[in-house]
Every structure is written in structure tokens, then in C-alpha cells.
Amino acid sequence: MSRSATITRETKETQITATWDLDQAGTMDISTGIGFLDHMLEALCKHSGTSLSLKCEGDLHIDGHHTTEDCGIVLGQCLREALGDRAGVERFGHMAVPLDEALVNATIDFSGRAYLAYDIQVSAPMLGTWDTELIPEFFGGLVENAKCCLHLHQVCGRNAHHIVEAAFKATARAIRQAIKVTGTDIPSTKGTLA
């Protein structure tokens, strides 16, 4: 059974189509109109060992908020649909990723319940044309729609680029562990992940 999902979201603010294939690695085609967000989504794809296509046309003449949040929403929906009932998956993943002076920990649980613990401090207001205030908006949209629990904690770091990139790579590597098929049962004593 293919663990792949395609989601289209069209609002007055954004038009997005994304396909996320959890079992095929190495293909990415990403365009959001925000260069640094594209860079982070490419890192998410590469380090999760998956393939991702995402095209977004958003109201960037206003700002990047709707584009950022809605990309998180769509990718969360892709994850949730592609994982199905989550039978056989590892469920939990954890990774600490260093990027020069920065170190970020990510721990994820595909529990069926949404919760984001976000402890990342970025001093720079912008990374390229991307407002760093929008980073938790992306992760919030992802978590809420994937129905997973994600803890992101910055251990150290000074450079905003390094900190944010470490956060995305740590999340990707945690996802890679958690979605790995290691059995056949639903990994819960309740018999369901919902």
C-alpha cells in the first residue's frame, strides 16, 4: 500500500497543491514564493527521506503569513492521510541536530493528538524575505493537521539561519524515525491512534 497523499487547498489567500510520498526518497519540487521557506521545505524533504512536491501561490503582496501557515496545514494533512491508521509505524522519533554553533532537539509522536511545544529563540526579524515570527505558525499548522505531538527545543545557537535550519532538519529526522514501518500492529495499548 502506497503511503502517499495529494492535498489541494484553495482559499482567497492561497492556492496550494502538495504531494508527499513517504516511501520514495529523493524527489523534491517546491515553490512557495518565499525563498527561505523553500529552502526549509527542501531540508524537510531531504532529511525525512521522502519525496515532496508543493506549489503555492499566496497573497505575498500582503505578507508571508497565509502562505506559511497554509503550507503547514497542507503538509500536515498530507502526513495524516499518507499514514492512514498508522499501523506498523514506529510512532515516535527524536533527533538532535547541530548546525555549527546551533543545536536543536526535535521529538515527535504520531499520537493522533495535536500539541506543539515550541522553544526556539530567533533574534533576527527576517531570514531573506521570511518573517521569523511565522516559523511557529508553520509548525502549528503542520502539527494540528497531522494530529501529532512535536517538541522543538533549542539547546544553543546565535545565528538565526543556523537555528531555524537545525529545527527543520531535526524535525525531518524525527519524522523519518517515526514513520518507519517496524511492525504490523497499531503502536498503542488503546488499539487506535486517534
Over residues 53-70, the pLDDT tens digits come to 999 999 999 999 999 999
Q: Percent of the chain beyond pLDDT 90?
A: 94
pLDDT tens digits, one per residue of 135-162: 999 999 999 999 999 999 999 999 999 9
pLDDT tens digits, one per residue of 86-135: 999 999 999 999 999 999 999 999 999 999 999 999 999 999 999 999 99
Q: Percent of the chain beyond pLDDT 70?
A: 100
pLDDT value for 191:
82
The amino acid sitting at 2 is S
**Has residue 172 got a pLDDT over 90?**
yes
pLDDT value for 193:
81
**Has residue 8 got a pLDDT over 90?**
yes
CB neighbours of 107 closer than 8 A, spacing ≥ 6?
92, 93, 94, 150, 151, 174
The amino acid sitting at 175 is I
Instruction: Look up the CATH number of domain 4-178.
Output: 3.30.230.40
Report the Cα–Cα distance between both ends of the chain, in Å, rounded: 21
**Has residue 1 got a pLDDT over 90?**
no
**Has residue 25 got a pLDDT over 80?**
yes
Q: What is the mean pLDDT of residues 157-185?
A: 97
Q: How far is CA 59 from CA 11, 16, 53, 62, 123, in A?
A: 10, 12, 20, 6, 26
**Has residue 26 got a pLDDT over 90?**
no
**Has residue 192 got a pLDDT over 90?**
no
Domain ranges of the chain: 4-178
pLDDT value for 190:
86
Q: What is the mean pLDDT of residues 26-46?
A: 97
